Amino acid sequence: MAKKQEAQPVVEVNLDEELPKLSNKNADYVFRLRKFLKEEGVDEARETEMLQELIPAILKDQAAGKPANTVYGSPSVLADKLINAPKQAPAAQPFWIETTDLAFSFLAIFSLIYGAMGLFAIWRHKTITQNSGGLLSLAIMSFVAAAAFTYYSRWAEKPKNDRPNGFLTAAVFFALIIVGSFFTTWLTGINTPITASMPWWGQFILAVVAYGAHFFMKRKYNLRNLFQAAGATPRPKK
């Protein structure tokens, strides 16, 4: 079995250092290219990203005696290709990273729901009531749901012939969710800081913290969101 190639680290290109290395002909080509990109509404950040990938290739061709106009066609043609190029899919992250990120998403959602229910109960009955759902219970429910979603998204991306039995997989996760639900319900009867029911304002604080953790992980690891994971499509079999 062939070994998977390890992803090469991305080297950030310093355009201030690389652009002066262009020949006059290539410098004029890049100038006109940037003009076309601006006319098409490409923002500065995306333009910089495009140039960081393009300039090293132009310099390499330049060293081989190939001007950019010969390799890429006119600047307007290249600008159109760059603008309409399909976006690369984010690199797959380890299972535990995707699961943890989705768990924070679910934790934020569950906490927000419980907090809203608690606040509504106070408004309706004019009395303070204890919500179901302690910190540990919510964390367990969130992790189980996240593990199921992450596994499903990876299962759905596999070619149909390579997927584990769908009925068996669904049965296992259904049983796991039932067991987790009973366990988290039992935990609410234990009076400790992490198992006791939280007031509505505690739920809202937890929702904000959980969403902040999700936002941090999504930015750091370039992860899919909850809806992208649920809408995974099969990958073509090689």
Model pLDDT for residues 195-217, shown as the tens digit of each residue: 888 888 999 999 999 999 999 99
Confidence (pLDDT) at 7: 42
Q: Which of 20-24, 32-36, 229-233 has the lowest mean pLDDT?
A: 229-233
Confidence (pLDDT) at 31: 94
What are the distances in angstroms from CA 193 to CA 138, 208, 228?
A: 13, 19, 35
Residue in 144, 151, 150 with CA at minimum distance from that of residue 98:
150
Longest pairwise C-alpha distance within the chain:
81
Confidence (pLDDT) at 173: 82
Q: Are 98 and 223 in contact (CB under 8 A)?
A: yes
Strand, helix or coil for residue 219: helix
Q: Which of 4-8, 136-140, 190-194 has the lowest mean pLDDT?
A: 4-8
Res 161 pLDDT > 90: no
Flag whether the pTM goes above 0.85: no
Confidence (pLDDT) at 207: 95
The 10s digit of each residue's pLDDT in 119-157 is 888 887 765 555 557 899 999 999 999 998 888 888 887
Alpha carbon distance 195, 141 (integer Å) = 13
Confidence (pLDDT) at 206: 95
> What length does the chain have?
238
User: What percent of the chain shows pLDDT beyond 90?
Assistant: 34
Res 192 pLDDT > 70: yes
The domains of the chain are located at 15-84, 95-230
DSSP count for the chain of H helices, then E strands: 10, 0
Alpha carbon distance 158, 30 (integer Å) = 41
